Amino acid sequence: RDPDATGAKSAFQLLKPEGARRGQPPAANSLPVVTMLSRLLKEHQAKQNERKELQEKRRREAIAAATCLTEALVDHLNVGVAQAYMNQRKLDHEVKTLQVQAAQFAKQTGQWIGMVENFNQALKEIGDVENWARSIELDMRTIATALEYVYKGQLQSASS
């Protein structure tokens, strides 16, 4: 019976000399077969090693390419981030400058408002002085008229 259920013969069975049986040493003519198998095994192992080396080389190249791509992407993003950071610093500086200028303007505006209020108060006082002066002038005219009337009345009574 064939141990292979498919009925296919293994490479060893195909290369096994016809007279060889299980457990019996191979015949003398089977030596070239062993040499051929050994050579095939060595060729197979050499090809596998070449494939492994090629695969390892490709893996290293892929890792290097991925690293370069990652670095390029990060550099590209860093340029944008650096630009945004610089813009933010400029904006912060402008905001501080604007705050200082706004505080100076508010102080100056307060001074101007104080000056205008003082000027307005002075105008009111001038208006009050002018009004007071008119009032006194009117009172003086009234008194002068009354004195003049009294003086003329005394003159007329003394002449009559």
Q: What is the pLDDT of residue 86?
A: 94
pTM assigned to the model: 0.41
Q: Are 17 and 29 in contact (CB under 8 A)?
A: yes
Pairwise CA distance, residues 153 & 150, whole Å: 5
Pairwise CA distance, residues 76 & 62, whole Å: 21
Question: CA angle at residue 6 from 5 to 10, to 5 degrees?
Answer: 90
Pairwise CA distance, residues 54 & 62, whole Å: 12
Q: Are 4 and 10 in contact (CB under 8 A)?
A: yes
Tell the burial category of 33 from Cβ atoms under 10 Å away from its Cβ (0-12, 13-18, 19+). Answer: middle
pLDDT in tens, 1-49: 444 444 445 554 544 555 445 555 555 556 788 899 899 999 999 999 9
pLDDT in tens, 67-76: 999 999 888 8
Pairwise CA distance, residues 47 & 58, whole Å: 16
pLDDT in tens, 74-116: 888 888 888 999 999 999 999 999 999 999 999 999 999 999 9
pLDDT in tens, 126-151: 888 888 888 899 999 999 998 888 88
CA distances to 10, 50, 92, 129, 130 from 101, rounded to whole Å, are 95, 75, 14, 41, 42
Task: Kindly state the DSSP code that residue 33 receives in the 8-state scheme.
Answer: H
Residue 153 reports pLDDT greater than 90: no
pLDDT in tens, 116-125: 999 999 888 8
